[in-house]
Amino acid sequence: MEKKLKKKLRKPVPEKRPVRILKLVLAAGIAASAVLTVYMFYLYTGIEDRFASRKWSIPSTVYSDTTLLYPGKRINKPLFLDKLSRLDYRIVDRAPAAKGEMQLREDSVAIFLNDLKTPQQRRNGFPVIIAYDNQGIRRITRMDTKEDLPLLTLEPENIMLFFGTQREKRQLVSIHDVPQHLVHAVLAAEDQRFFSHHGVDPRGLLRAIWVNLRHGGFVQGGSTLTQQLAKNYFLTPERTLTRKFKELLIALLLEARFQKEEILEIYLNEIYFGQKGSVSINGVGEAASFYFGKPVSALTPAESATLAGLIKGPNRYSPYINRERCRNRRNWVLDSMYDNQWISAAALKKYQAQPVKTSGYRVSGKKAPYFVDYLSEQLTTLYSPGDLESLGLSIYTTLDTQVEIAAEEALEKELTSLEKANPKLRRNDPARKLQGVVVVMQPKTGHILAMVGGRNYTESQFNRAAQASRQPGSLFKPFVALAALDKFTPATILSNAPRTYTVDNKKWEPQNFEPVTEFSVSLRTAIQHSYNRAIVDLAMRTGLNHILDAIKPFGFTTHFKPYPSLALGSFEMIPLELARAYCAFAADGVLPYPLSLKGIMDEKGKILEQHHMNIERAISPEKAFLVTDLLRSVVEGGTAKSLRSKGIWFPVAGKTGTTNDFRDAWFVGYTPDVLALIWVGFDNGDPVYASGGSAALPIWADLIHAIPQYVSDSWFMAPPGVVQKEICRSSGMLAGPECPDIIKEYFLTGNAPLKACTLHATRPFIEGWFKKIEKLVQ
């Protein structure tokens, strides 16, 4: 019994050690498989989430306005050719055969136009010849059909991109637009068995190890194209076994989830191709443009091999850094293409003999920076900064880059000239330098063609055109004249004699800019010569509150007060608001809204926003014409008459302005087609020791000379409601035969003079007295 009990209580025989280990391995394997499965599911959901959202953050692009060309249009030839260069037209020594090519000839330029796509217009590119002479464009002819064109639109110019923190630039391309030789070149360089493996290529890995061992260093990588995509698109660049393992898993998942063509398309849009300044060039679309100035579909096999060769080391093999090294790398890719039977021996010899030709490396700074800042503020009401940095919007503006460049150059030239002429204006501190503003607008549409808010954007980002408040001085006088037209006429005689006014129990006596002997002058003469005393007299007779009521439709943000000094521009105003207000004089009394944005399209070409001109009537066409005619006399024989000596041969309406102690110098001038406002001064109010006629007016003249396309000899027609009469200059009444100085003057129909001049009617006066005496005698 005891033996049986001991037998029952005996310990079980332990399992053999190998069996136990096998079970542990099996359990560990099952656990590892479970963990791996869960982890791969996690990676898979991450891949799905990434591709379900936007694959890339594409910066939105800001474009200038299009350029309209037609026979008879004046052009500035250097600026015109420079614009073609900025539009990435490449000079060739033959007739252009592909989009983006141009040939310069003695009296013409032959261009194969790029495609045009804006919210307003779309067309495919075609070859044209633009013939010109010193007077402008003579003829525009299609090279393919020999048809003469009455109009031609050049595509808009790229001004800037709204980059995010990564500062990546790419043009997305479809795999269907990628030429076969580019696909072969990339596969030859990076993954020859791409269409055979499933994301990981053991043969390629072993081959790479063998090649590297044979050469005693790293010559060839073992990662497949899919692994590269996994690394670049999903992972950080760190070199660890953990990251490599994740790379392998993601590559397998990508191959399981997507077709080969889809993976290849994503790879071609993702891969890094080098730097343009601080901007990263990504994807074959952007690389084709950056290195060769053409769309990816237009690449040659040799150019495709060059791009494929860059993938291994974009900065090492860049043709902009070492052209010979780039050529050797390209030829290696061509050899690999030949080995894979993707090109023939003849093609190999042909392409390897070709030099590496690029479109030229140009790092351009921020174009029209003050205009772009002004535009950006308006865009923030429509889109968040994140959207602008990622949605790939195409933003079309009103900017004319030729006008913008001319404005920037004219401002810098004349400010430098002022500093050279007067050492008192020189400042070593960039923050205290002499500054200026140029605003150029189309009066009838409100389109801002150019906006220069300062002398150097790098030194000062303060946009004086849209943000500064400065005393306008005499630039305000036309608004006094405008208000006065309800009671008075251009022929009304005003007092130009010394007079003291009381303001808040203080005495104030306006002074003229220069001593004068004429103590009685007409309203026209007061505007023409900018007589302060006469304009204050006009303001007081008109009524200060009436003036304030008259300027309300212009929408000034200045808080004016009914002081006599109002007439002389003593209240600070914003330059852009002044430019806009003057547009009403040039646009038959219609006040436009300053427009910088024309339209927005998404990355698929769908129109999201389309902004049309927004106008409202501020004054009558009759009053607008009378003010314009008054301002024309300023240029014809007044404070702006020096424009004629500067070669301004066409009719212009303009007004100079100078404030107390020469703190501000102004000039605004306009024609029916263009208006430009100029301001010169120091931010801290230091004197510029020059008037508007000598400091600001020359900038206007230089600018207008540089943009002949906006110049014509057309002028404003007198609208119904305006009549012209012959009057006596001295009395402002209808001219009689005895009047010594007879002039023609415009009037509103309702307040034109009806009585003849009595100042010079001596004979009728004497004869009338004789008749009275005869009656008394009788």
| Strand pairing category for 664-670 and 675-681 | antiparallel
Task: Over range 311-333, report the average pLDDT.
Answer: 93
Of 474, 565, 691, 731, which is the active-site residue?
474
Instruction: Report the alpha-carbon distance of residue 182 to residue 481 in Å, rounded.
Output: 70
190 catalytic? Reply is yes
pTM (2 d.p.):
0.84
pLDDT tens-digit profile of 501-556?
988 888 999 999 888 888 999 999 999 999 999 999 999 999 999 999 999 999 99
pLDDT tens-digit profile of 429-440?
988 999 999 999
Instruction: Report the alpha-carbon distance of residue 44 to residue 254 in Å, rounded.
Output: 8
Lowest mean pLDDT among 218-232, 428-442, 634-648: 218-232
Length of the chain: 778
Counting beta carbons within 10 angstroms of the beta carbon of residue 197, is it exposed (0 to 12), middle (13 to 18) or buried (19 or more)?
middle
Q: What does the pLDDT read at residue 474?
A: 97
- Pairs from 198-202 (Cβ < 8 Å, separation ≥ 24): 198/252, 198/255, 198/256, 199/224, 199/226, 199/227, 199/248, 199/251, 199/252, 199/253, 199/254, 199/255, 199/256, 200/224, 200/226, 200/227, 200/248, 200/251, 200/252
Give the mean pLDDT of the chain.
Answer: 87
- 752: number of CA atoms within 13 Å, CB side? 18
Q: What does the pLDDT read at residue 207?
A: 66
Q: How confident is the model at residue 388 (pLDDT cuts 50, 70, 90)?
A: confident
Rounded to whole angstroms, what are the CA distances from 1 to 4, 5, 6, 8?
5, 6, 9, 11
Q: What does the pLDDT read at residue 55?
A: 65
Task: Over range 200-213, report the average pLDDT.
Answer: 65
Task: Over range 375-388, report the average pLDDT.
Answer: 86
Q: How confident is the model at residue 10 (pLDDT cuts 50, 70, 90)?
A: low
Residue with the larger pLDDT of the pair 58 and 141: 141
Instruction: Report the alpha-carbon distance of residue 666 to residue 680 in Å, rounded.
Output: 6
Instruction: Report the alpha-carbon distance of residue 140 to residue 241 in Å, rounded.
Output: 64
Reply yes or no on whether the pLDDT at 226 is more than 80: no
Take residue 379 and report the two structure tokens written for it: 């865009």
**DSSP states of 695-727 as a string?**
HTHHHHHHHHHH-GGG--S--PPPPTTEEEEEE
pLDDT tens-digit profile of 569-626?
999 999 999 999 999 999 999 999 999 999 999 888 888 888 777 789 999 999 999 9
Reply yes or no on whether the pLDDT at 137 is more than 80: yes
pLDDT tens-digit profile of 78-135?
999 999 999 989 899 999 998 889 999 999 999 999 999 888 889 999 999 999 998 8
Residue with the larger pLDDT of the pair 241 and 289: 289
Instruction: Report the alpha-carbon distance of residue 560 to residue 563 in Å, rounded.
Output: 9
Q: How confident is the model at residue 11 (pLDDT cuts 50, 70, 90)?
A: low
| Buried residues in 408-429 as b, exposed as e (16+ CB within 10 A) | bebbeebbeebeeeeeebeeee
Instruction: Report the alpha-carbon distance of residue 81 to residue 105 in Å, rounded.
Output: 12
603 catalytic? Reply is no
Q: What does the pLDDT read at residue 49?
A: 57
Q: Domains of the chain (ranges plus CATH)? A: 66-155 (3.30.2060.10), 162-353 (1.10.3810.10), 393-469+573-720 (3.40.710.10), 473-571 (3.40.710.10), 723-777 (no CATH)
Percentage of residues in the chain with pLDDT exceeding 70? 84
Instruction: Report the alpha-carbon distance of residue 458 to residue 405 in Å, rounded.
Output: 16
CB 473 within 8 A of CB 584: no
Q: What does the pLDDT read at residue 163?
A: 75
Residue with the larger pLDDT of the pair 478 and 252: 478
Instruction: Report the alpha-carbon distance of residue 715 to residue 707 in Å, rounded.
Output: 18
Sign for the pseudo-dihedral over CA of 258, 263, 265, 267? positive
pLDDT tens-digit profile of 164-191?
666 788 888 888 999 999 999 999 888 8
Instruction: Report the alpha-carbon distance of residue 211 to residue 201 in Å, rounded.
Output: 15
Instruction: Report the alpha-carbon distance of residue 463 to residue 574 in Å, rounded.
Output: 11
Q: Calculate the CA 655 to chain-centre distance.
A: 28
Provide φ and ψ at 492, rounded to 5°: -60, 135
Of 101, 155, 157, 190, which is the active-site residue?
190
- 775: number of CA atoms within 13 Å, CB side? 6
- Closest CA relative to residue 485, chosen from 722, 183, 244, 772: 722
Counting beta carbons within 10 angstroms of the beta carbon of residue 730, is it exposed (0 to 12), middle (13 to 18) or buried (19 or more)?
middle
Sign for the pseudo-dihedral over CA of 256, 257, 261, 265? negative
